[in-house]
Amino acid sequence: MTDRRSLAAGNWKMNGTAAALSELDALIAAHGDTRSELLLCPPHTLVERMARAADGSALGVGGQDCHWEETGAHTGDVSAAMLKDAGATHVILGHSERRADHAETDRMVRDKCDAAWAAGLTAIVCVGETLAERESSNTLQIIRGQIAGSLPDQATGHNLVIAYEPVWAIGTGKVPTTDEIGEVHSDIRSTLERRFGAGVAKSVRILYGGSVKPDNASEIFAVENVDGALVGGASLKAADFGGIVRALDGA
């Protein structure tokens, strides 16, 4: 048993215009009494509008990335303070697509995490291995290294969520076995304990992310140390995301 509140976080990635906010309305209407914490992370263009639409509901809103500087000559970037000002409460950092497509390093993720915390945002820090790393039996070593390099020293259960996303499973329909998911989540918990102590390690939520869908969610959420999910494509539709939320509530 744990007092960690389950979290279902949806990452819309580069999807969604104002018309997509109707999905938000449907989600709020269907899950206003959920036991889990709900979060949607839309593109930056929708953060403020979504936050306004969700105000007073059970749904929180987050950003998908932020810069490590508060202001400056960084064309196309957004700061953590700007996300906070727009109504965000969380921000996803170090997603595998950012690490791969934008050459983000652990150090950059760490600096962004510092900025998020300074702005009062909860950071959802993503870690995970590629297929080559999994096949080379380097999964745990890779993730331990990412945790060591990507997290500042002031982590707490309030300001940090970890999301394990096996890179090879994202958007592919492939999912690790429950034993493989359990092994990684348990090792993440142990890694956090060695660095931050038992209290912090027990309080930090660890999400699974990698082709989570309504039809496999219950099995995944039954795994020890899985405190919820970071959901990609299935979070774009209220019906699909709602199925995942129901599975999480029943876990």
Catalytic site positions: 95, 165
If you count DSSP H runs as helices and E runs as strands, how many of each does the chain have, helices first? 11, 8
Collect all residues with Cβ–Cβ distance below 8 Å to 78 and sequence separation of at least 6.
Answer: 44, 63, 65, 66, 67
**Exposure pattern of 109-130 as b/e (b: 16+ CB <10 Å)?**
bbbbbbbbbebebbbbbbbbbb
CB 60 within 8 A of CB 37: yes
Cα–Cα distance list, 56 to 113, 145, 165 (Å): 27, 39, 31
> Under DSSP, is residue 184 helix (H, G, I), strand (E, B) or coil?
helix
Collect all residues with Cβ–Cβ distance below 8 Å to 240 and sequence separation of at least 6.
Answer: 213, 214, 234
Dump strand ranges (E) for 156-235: 160-164, 205-208, 228-231
Measured in whole angstroms, the distance separating CA 116 from the mean position of its chain's CA atoms is: 14
Distance CA 109, CA 95 (A): 9
CB 220 within 8 A of CB 250: no
